[in-house]
Structure 1
Amino acid sequence: MLKKLALALSLTLPLAATSCDGGDFTVPSKDLKPGGVFVTYVQDSNCEGCNELARRDLIQAVDGKEVKTTADMKAANITDGQPHELTVWDAGDSVVKTVKITATPNESMPPIKDAPPFWYVGAEELDQAPEGWARRRLFGHAAPQLLLVSVDGGFVNGRDLYGKKRLIVFFDWATATDRQNGALMMQVLQKAQADLAAAGVDLMFAQVKHVSERERQPMNDTDLRAFFNDNQVGQAEGGPLPPPPMYRMPNKTEDNPTRVLGMEGAFTFYEAIGEAPNIFILDENGIIRWHSAGVTPDASGEISNDTVYTINEAVMFALKKL
C-alpha cells in the first residue's frame, strides 16, 4: 500500500529535489563487523571502570556470555552493583580487551529510570539502516538535547524520546522547495499513520529552523495548522485524514534552558541535523537508528520523486526493522 501511495504522490506535487550527496556520514558497516553491542555514549557516572570504554567500542561478552543485541545487554544486568567483566572490541586500537566494571543505575538522567552508565545498541540492529544517506551525523547516537512544543500543548525534550519507537521529521519553510518537501512528507505520514501506530511507532512532524540562505522565522501554532490545512491529503488521494502529531520550535517565552534535555550531555540535535528535511528513527531505547538529511533518489527508478522515495523508505524501515 505504501509503495502505491508513494507512486501516486510523486505525480501530484513535482519539485526540484535536492540530494544529500557528501556530508558527514558516520558508523559504516565495516566498523560494526566485529559484532557485539555498539557503545553509543559513555556517561561514566555511577560506574567504576567505565572510563575505559568509548563510543564505537563493541562489547562482545559480559562475564563470558556473548551479547549481540540490546536485549542481551539489558539481560546481563550490569547495574546491579556487582563486579562484571566485559570483553570489548576496542575500536580505537582494533584489539580485544577486558574491562572490569562495577555500576549502579545512573540517577542523573530523570525522568529516565534505571539509566545505564553508557548507552548501547546491538551492532547488527544498528547496521540495518542503508549505508551512507541514512547514516548522517546523528546516526548511532542516543537522543541529544532538544526542546519542541506540541501544537496541542506541552513540551518534548530529548529524554522524553526514550521509551517508545519514534519516526520524527524536521522540515523547514524557508524556501518553496522546503515547503514542498514538508508537504509531501506530511502526506505520506498521514497515509502511513495507522500502520505505524499498529506497529507501536509514534510520529512527530516538526517545523524546525535550519541554516539557510533564506532563513525565515519558525512557525507558530497558527502557521503550522494552516500548513496542514493547505497541504493535507486531498479527497482524490483518500483524505481527509488526521494530521500527524505536529510540533514546532519554542518561542522566546517558552525557550527555558532547564527544559532542554538529552541523553548525551550538552550535545544537541540542532548542531548536527544538516539540510532540510531531516528524518530520524529512534528505537525504544532512544538510539537513533536512522538519520537522513535532504532527499535521495530511488536507485531502481521506481519512485520518480526523490522526496517521496526518501520518506517512504523511512516509513518501511520503521515498520519492519525497529
Structure 2
Amino acid sequence: MKKRLPLTVIGGFLGAGKTTLLNRWLREANGLRMAVLVNDFGALNIDADLIAATHGDTTALTNGCVCCQIGDDLGRALVAVIEATTPFDAVVIEASGVSDPWRIAQIGMAAPELSLEGVVVLVDASAVAQQAKDPLLADTLARQVKSADLVVVNKADLATADALAGAWAWVEATAPGTPCMETTESAVPLELLSGVTQADAAAHVCGPGCHAHHGQHGHGAPDHGALFQTWNAQPDAVIPAEALRAWLRDVPPGVLRLKGLLRTGESDWSQVQFAGRHGSLRKALPPVGDGRAGVVAIGLRGQLPEGALKAFFAR
C-alpha cells in the first residue's frame, strides 16, 4: 500500500505573507523533504545558505527540499514531484495572489497519488478590511477565504487596533466557522497542515528549536509552545471505522489538526486525518515496532478541547 503524498495549498492576496510563510517552512523543515511549487520563482528569495544547486526552474536545498517554478502546467510539475527518484514527504503549492486556491486544490485532488491536507489562506490584517471594500477586489478576497481550512490573519503587528478588529470582523462574516489564527511574520507551524508523522507533530510543536517570538519583533523562530497546544494518546481499544467517520463529521471546535493511526478492527488499521474542516479515514498497514495505535491533535493554546478528545479516543 503506497503512501499518498500530502498536499497543502497556500493562498492569499498579494502582500499577505505567502512567500514569508514558505521561506519559514523551508527553514524549519527539520528533516521533512518538501517540494514547494511556486508561480514566481524569483519572489521566494530563499536564504543563500540553504541553496545547494539551481538547475533552470528548480532549486535544490541543502535540507533535502526543492523549489520548482510551476510555469504553464501545474499538472506536469506535480507529476515530476510524484515521480521523483527520491520520494518527497510533502508537497506545498503557492497559489498566485489573485487566484482561487480551491481550484488548485482540486487539481491536486484529482491525482490518486496525492492526499489534500488542507488550504491555508493568509490575509493582511492591516489592509484586508479596506481591500474588501474595493468592488474590483471583493470577490477575489472572499473566494480565497471561503476556500480555506485555516485562515491566517497575518501582519497583526503592523495593523492598528481598528484595522485588526476590521480584519477579524470581515473574516468571520465572510467565512463563518472557519478556524482562524492571528500571526506576525507568517508564524504558522509546519505541523498544522504538512503531513508530518504524529510523533513528529507532537515533538515539533513544543519541542526543541522553539524560541520566544510571539508578539515581538525580530527574526527568531516562533514560540509554537506559547501559541499552540498539543494532545496525544495511544488508544488500546478498537475504534470502529463508522464511529470514527461519525466523529470526523462533527469534530469538536478548537481542533485545527488531527492525525493518527488507529485500530479499527481486530486486524484492521486506519489512518485518520483532520485539517481545518475536512476529515478522512483510510485503510492502513499496522504500525511498525511496538504496534501501538497513536493519535495527536493540535489547536490554539487554551482552545483545544482535551476533555472531548479524551472522551472519544482514550476511552
Report the TM-score range of the alignment, normalised by the length of the smaller protein: under 0.3
- TM (norm. structure 2) is 0.24
Higher Cα Rg, which structure: 1
More helix as a share of residues: 2
